[in-house]
Chains A and B, each alone.
Chain A
Amino acid sequence: MKSFAYVAAPDTATALRAVADGDRVKFLAGGTNLVDLMRERIEQPDTVVDISRLPMSGVEELPDGGLRIGALTTNSGVAADPLVWTRYPVLAQAILNGASPQLRNMATVGGNLLQRTRCLYFYDEAARCNKRAPGSGCDAIGGFSRGSAVLGVSEHCIATHPSDMAVALVLLDATVEVQSTRGTRRIPIAEFHRVPGDAPHVETALAADELITAVELPPAPVAANSRYRKVRDRAAFAFALVSVAAALRVEDGVVTEVRLALGGVGTKPWRATEAERTLLGRPATDESFRLAADVELRSATATAQNAFKVELARRTVVTTLRRLLTGGSAA
Chain B
Amino acid sequence: MTVIGQPLDRVDGDAKTTGAARFAAEHSHPGLTHAALVHATIARGRITALDTAAATAVPGVVAVLTHRNAPPLQPPPEINPLDFNTLFTGTFVRYLGTDEVHWDGEPIAVVVAETLAAAQEAAALVRVEYETSDAAVDFAAAEPGAWPQPDSPLTQGEAGKGDAEAALAVAPVAVDLRFTTPQHQHNAIEPHATTAVWDGDRLTVHDSTQSIDWFRTHLAVSFGVPTENVRVLAPFVGGAFGGKGSIWPGTVLAALAARATGRPVRLALTREGVYRTVGGRTPSIQRVALGATRDGRLTSLVHTSTSRIGHVGGIPEQITEQSRHAYAADNLLTRQLLVQVDLVSNAFMRAPGAAIGSFALESAIDELAYELDVDPVELRMRNEPDVNPLDGREFARRRQREVYARGAARFGWHERSPRPGTTRDGRWLVGTGVASAYHPSYQFPADVTVRLSADGTVLLRCGFQEMGMGAATAQAQVAADALGVPVDAVRVEYGDSALPPSPGANVSIQTASIAGAVLEATAEIKRSLSALAERTGGDSPAEIIRNAGVPHVEAAVGPETPAGRMTGSERFMAMMMRDQHLVRAATGAHFCEVRVDPETCEVRVSRWVGVFDIGTVVNPKTAGSQLRGGIVMGLGMALSEQALVDPRTGRIMNPSLAEYHVPVHADVPPIDVSFLDEPDPTMPFGIRGAGEVGITGAAAAVANAVRHATGKRVRDLPITLDKLL
Contacts and interface: CB of A to CB of B under 8 A. Distances in A.
Interface of A: 1-3, 41, 118, 120-121, 123-127, 139, 142-144, 146, 231-238, 241-242, 308, 311-312, 315-316, 318-319
Given A41-B124, A234-B639, A318 B599 contact: yes
A1 B659 contact: no
A120 B653 contact: yes
A236 B722 contact: no
Contacts of B658: 118
B600 A142 contact: no
A120 B652 CA distance: 10
Contact of B41 (A2, A126, A143, A311): A126
A2 B648 CA distance: 30
A238 B656 CA distance: 12
A17 B50 CA distance: 41
23 contacts: A1-B121, A2-B124, A3-B117, A3-B121, A124-B651, A126-B649, A127-B651, A127-B653, A143-B653, A144-B646, A144-B653, A233-B639, A233-B661, A234-B663, A234-B664, A236-B664, A236-B667, A308-B721, A311-B725, A312-B725, A316-B599, A316-B600, A319-B600
Nearest to A147: B659
B604 interface: yes
Interface in B629-652: 639-640, 644, 646, 648-649, 651
B722 A144 contact: no
Contacts of B651: 124, 126-127
A246 B651 CA distance: 39
A233 B721 contact: yes
B666 interface: yes
B644 A237 contact: no
A120 B658 CA distance: 11
A231 B725 contact: no
A315 B599 contact: yes
B661 A234 contact: yes
Contacts of A308: 721-722, 725
A316 B598 CA distance: 11
A315 B667 CA distance: 23
A55 B646 CA distance: 46
Contacts of B569: none
B654 interface: yes
Nearest to A146: B722
Nearest to A307: B722
Given A120-B644, A126-B41, A318-B599, A235 B604 contact: yes
B720 interface: yes
B104 to A, nearest CB: 8
A1 B120 CA distance: 7
B722 A312 contact: yes
B646 A233 contact: no
B602 interface: yes
Interface string B311-344: 0000000000000000000000000000000000
A237 B659 contact: no
A236 B665 contact: yes
Contacts of B661: 233-234, 238
Top-10 shortest CB links A-B: A235-B666, A308-B722, A126-B41, A236-B666, A120-B653, A315-B599, A231-B600, A319-B599, A235-B667, A144-B644
A233 B653 contact: no
Contacts of B720: 233
A170 B720 CA distance: 29
Contact of B648 (A118, A142, A146, A231): A142
A120 B640 contact: no
A241 B653 CA distance: 18
Contacts of A1: 117, 120-121
B648 A312 contact: no
Contacts of B648: 139, 142-143
A319 B598 CA distance: 10
Pick from A142, A144, A242 the residue with the most CB of B within 10 Å. A144
Given A3-B121, A124-B651, A236-B666, A118 B602 contact: no
